Chain A
Amino acid sequence: MNPDWSRRRFIGSGGTLSGAAWLKLTTPGLVAAAASACDAMESASAFVNLSEAQARELSAISARLIPTTSTPGAIEAGVIHFIDQSLAGEMAAERAAAFQGLSEFLSGLNPEQPNRLFSELDAADQDAYLKDREGTDFFEFMRLMTIYGFFAMSSHGGNRDHLSWTLIGFEGHGAWTPPFGHYDSETEV
């Protein structure tokens, strides 16, 4: 069984820029780009689809959505490389809408200072502005992309060293033998 609200909720919560298309990160395009994404993570430079300025702003947004605290966040996981890579291939059609969304996001920052950058705000101001934008297509797009980039398999460009899985206690792919957790280990003889 799969409760019907499952997919409805995660799609519904998307509020995406152009409906399903944002979620259509089809595998072939991503896999093709994955190797170069890994390379890019290593070199910490070259973006395939993003300008340095775009990458800096998107990265700053992802860093507030999943912040670096006493534990790693979106920055350490390389979420920006996932975003960069997933705007390749079949996502290319959506790239313009994403950049438009970013542009509007930035222009709403402070009309009196049109060149102000999100990345230049301090964390409290960044959070306040994000809270203000919550529910907009661009915000919800960035939330989804940050979650995907943080938790999806590293071959998609993010989740460096599986650090997000380590963070939540998920050991990833494997063959397991019982006991699996605390409560079944208690009942083991």
Chain B
Amino acid sequence: MSESNTMPSFKETEPVDFVIIGAGSAGGIMARELSGAGFNIVVLEQGPYRQQHEFSHDELSVAINNELLGGMNDVHGQTFRHYEHEEAQQPAVQPVRYARGVGGSSVHFTANFWRLRPSDFKERSLLGPIEGTNFADWPISYEELEPYYAKVEWEIGVSGAPGPFDAPRSKPFPMPPLPIKSSGVLMEKGAEKLGLHAQVEPLAILSRAHNGRPPCINCGYCMYYGCEVGAKSSTLAAMVPLAEATGRCEIRAESVVIRIETNDQGKADRVVYLDASGTERAQAARSVLLCANGAETSRLLFMSASSRHPDGLANSSGFVGRNLMHNAHSLGYGVFEHPLNDYKGPQVSRIIHDFYESDTARGFYGGGGIDARPLFSATPILHALNAMPPDVARWGSEWKDAISYNFTRQLALVASTTSLPLDRNNITLDPQSKDIWGRPAIRETYHDHPDDLAIAAFLQDVSMQVLDAAGAEKVWRMPVEASTGGEHLLGTCRMGDDPSTSVVDRYHRSHDVPNLFICDGSSMVTSGRGQPTMTIMALAFRAAEHIAAAARRGEV
């Protein structure tokens, strides 16, 4: 693909229609949609351009040494603190975790694809204000986004079947669910006894051939890994080849953006980056699309500060980097009498969404879903290091007996929940630490709102009941505690109608710079209940349509 004859090579000094920064979930869709609409595109991606046959099952390389994340944190220098008054520390692994490379985190994700529901877009109106938070309605409704959810399902490729609580859909799933696993059967059994409803998990993984791509082979290497057959619906597999086939999309991998420049008219006109050799280059652009994820997008806007934009580009509101939301999580484990062999097949086959909606009777805000999966028991090293029962010795024959028995018999019930948007949870530039390219490192400040932890704990109690009802021999729970980082990078450039409390408008155009568009997890106003990529992709399809129309009208 990268060596395709159709790959154009645009001149840096001649403005292309769009420079897209980031080739991930949103950027990959933007590249395809806008090149397909006839525009010339340069995509700048900081990670490498891996082809699918290059993905491996090497657990040491992928899961331990973080190959797809671009290595350990000594490369990236990220820092973390819970509160602003603390000095941020640099942990061994990046607190803010995302895959670097063409396809972005859609390459290594687990592919759980939940739509938001109508309530997600207007919870502030439905539930009232929550003191001390930036809880707000979205400027768009579920109904407005729904056609684009359907587009994701059909064009990106999502398998599944409707559940009892799902939001209305305009089209059926394009393909049936993947096979139910033992973890799914046990969840169904436990849920039924409790009067709950286990439903099919929608997955961005093909259950049959679709759009020229092959179906899943159930190898089990989804979470953290790239899919070597192209059945997992990354933008690398589903969108990038279509973008390149237009002959109007040039992907420049290993291009590390350091600044977006604006001209005297206040428009973005150049994107400055370091190429693979470290040489500084700049691409001229008529418009810039920033799709780098909620952390990188914020960093780049701060790094693009100038006399005209002293607090960072597009940041007159001061909302850039604020309201970071990870989704909270909780985790309960169970071991069963017979082997589940849950390492086979995609992670999740069944979920419980009975507690999706917030309920004032609980005494706190929040909702979420529970899924059944092997989690770390999909591979041996992660099981050995992360998933052993707490009452078992850490080494020796007792340890060996436990892992020999448990590995195939263990499952995890994982709850994913809401996060409230808070000023104090944010991305800023670290004042000291830098990455190996010399950029100020990402500094995360984050402590979950008490309600986020309360709903996570509430769902953990439900999970333990489900495990018991399913007949687990042994169960245990992991402590519910404040996050020290995350993969879901939401809310940091939220969309809104009011330029004083949002960064982009309802069509993802930045309020401050008329030809700068921002679309990725940062656009989300609320967190949903976990599994945000479906929504990020739907937003990207919708934004691309509006941006293309605006460009045709000469309004960028």
* B223 near A8: Cβ-Cβ < 8 Å: no
B336 neighbours in A (Cβ, 8 Å): 183
* A4 near B404: Cβ-Cβ < 8 Å: no
Minimum C-beta distance from B183 to chain A (A)? 8
B110 neighbours in A (Cβ, 8 Å): 1-2
Q: Cβ of B526 < 8 Å from any Cβ of A?
A: no
A89 to B218, CA, bound (A): 35
A153 neighbours in B (Cβ, 8 Å): 57-60
A11 to B340, CA, bound (A): 28
* B219 near A151: Cβ-Cβ < 8 Å: no
A148 to B381, CA, bound (A): 7
A175 to B61, CA, bound (A): 21
Q: Cβ of B384 < 8 Å from any Cβ of A?
A: yes
| Interface 9-residue window, one of A20-28, A39-47, A92-100 | A20-28
Q: Which residues 28-73 of B sit at the A interface, judged by CB distance below 8 A?
A: 57-61, 64-65, 67, 71-73
* Interface range for A: 35 or more
* A66 near B395: Cβ-Cβ < 8 Å: yes
* Interface range for B: 35 or more
A24 neighbours in B (Cβ, 8 Å): 65, 71-72, 74
* B408 near A10: Cβ-Cβ < 8 Å: no
* B92 near A11: Cβ-Cβ < 8 Å: yes
A73 to B400, CA, bound (A): 9
For A27, A155, A182, which residue has the most chain B Cβ atoms within 10 angstroms? Answer: A182
A183 to B131, CA, bound (A): 47
In the complex with contacts A1-B329, A1-B416, A173-B57, A182-B338 CB distance below 8 A: yes
Q: Cβ of A168 < 8 Å from any Cβ of B?
A: yes
Bitwise, B215-241 to A at CB < 8 A (1) or not (0) is: 001111101100000000000000000
A143 to B522, CA, bound (A): 40
Q: Which residues 261-289 of B sit at the A interface, judged by CB distance below 8 A?
A: none
Query: In the complex, which of the residues B181, B399, B484 contacts A8, with contact meaning CB atoms closer than 8 Å?
Result: B484
B221 neighbours in A (Cβ, 8 Å): 173
Q: Cβ of B299 < 8 Å from any Cβ of A?
A: no
* B341 near A169: Cβ-Cβ < 8 Å: yes
- A167: nearest residue on chain B (CB-CB)? B404
A177 to B207, CA, bound (A): 12
Q: Which residues 390-415 of B sit at the A interface, judged by CB distance below 8 A?
A: 394-397, 399-400, 403-404, 407-408, 414
A7 neighbours in B (Cβ, 8 Å): 93, 97
* B67 near A27: Cβ-Cβ < 8 Å: yes
A116 to B400, CA, bound (A): 28
A164 neighbours in B (Cβ, 8 Å): 380
- A159: nearest residue on chain B (CB-CB)? B380
Minimum C-beta distance from B229 to chain A (A)? 9
In the complex with contacts A20-B72, A181-B181, A182-B340, A69-B407 CB distance below 8 A: no
Q: Cβ of A186 < 8 Å from any Cβ of B?
A: yes
Secondary structure type dominating chain B contacts:
loop
Q: Cβ of A160 < 8 Å from any Cβ of B?
A: no
* B59 near A169: Cβ-Cβ < 8 Å: no
Q: Cβ of B197 < 8 Å from any Cβ of A?
A: no
- A155: nearest residue on chain B (CB-CB)? B58
In the complex with contacts A1-B327, A3-B478, A176-B220, A8-B93 CB distance below 8 A: yes
A155 to B61, CA, bound (A): 12
A179 to B344, CA, bound (A): 10
A48 to B217, CA, bound (A): 39
- A152: nearest residue on chain B (CB-CB)? B60
* B64 near A180: Cβ-Cβ < 8 Å: no
A166 to B403, CA, bound (A): 12
Q: Cβ of B168 < 8 Å from any Cβ of A?
A: no
* B487 near A2: Cβ-Cβ < 8 Å: yes
Q: Cβ of A156 < 8 Å from any Cβ of B?
A: yes
In the complex with contacts A1-B414, A2-B487, A9-B385, A180-B396 CB distance below 8 A: no
Q: Cβ of B518 < 8 Å from any Cβ of A?
A: no
* A10 near B340: Cβ-Cβ < 8 Å: no
* A170 near B380: Cβ-Cβ < 8 Å: yes
In the complex with contacts A20-B72, A177-B218, A184-B185, A1-B93 CB distance below 8 A: no
* A2 near B396: Cβ-Cβ < 8 Å: no
Query: In the complex, which of the residues A1, A26, A143 contacts B65, with contact meaning CB atoms closer than 8 Å?
Result: A26
* A25 near B65: Cβ-Cβ < 8 Å: yes
A143 to B379, CA, bound (A): 18
Q: Cβ of A178 < 8 Å from any Cβ of B?
A: yes
A168 to B181, CA, bound (A): 19
* A181 near B339: Cβ-Cβ < 8 Å: yes
Q: Cβ of B91 < 8 Å from any Cβ of A?
A: yes
A19 neighbours in B (Cβ, 8 Å): 92
In the complex with contacts A1-B531, A147-B385, A168-B380, A66-B341 CB distance below 8 A: no
Q: Cβ of A6 < 8 Å from any Cβ of B?
A: yes
In the complex with contacts A178-B345, A180-B182, A25-B60 CB distance below 8 A: yes
A146 neighbours in B (Cβ, 8 Å): 395
B217 neighbours in A (Cβ, 8 Å): 175-176
Query: In the complex, which of the residues B219, B326, B400 contacts A69, with contact meaning CB atoms closer than 8 Å?
Result: B400
B218 neighbours in A (Cβ, 8 Å): 175-178, 180
Q: Closest 5 CB pairs between A and B?
A: A182-B338, A175-B217, A181-B182, A183-B182, A20-B92
Which residues of A are interface residues toward B (Cβ below 8 A)?
A: 1-11, 13-14, 16, 19-21, 23-27, 30, 64-67, 69, 71, 73, 127, 130, 134, 143-144, 146-148, 151-153, 155-156, 164-165, 167-171, 173-184, 186-187
CB<8 Å pairs between A and B, sample of 9:
A1-B487, A6-B382, A11-B92, A19-B92, A27-B61, A151-B380, A153-B60, A180-B341, A181-B342
Q: A5-B331, A24-B71, A67-B397 are in contact. List 8 more A-B contacts (CB 8 A).
A: A2-B224, A5-B481, A11-B91, A151-B384, A165-B380, A171-B341, A174-B219, A176-B218
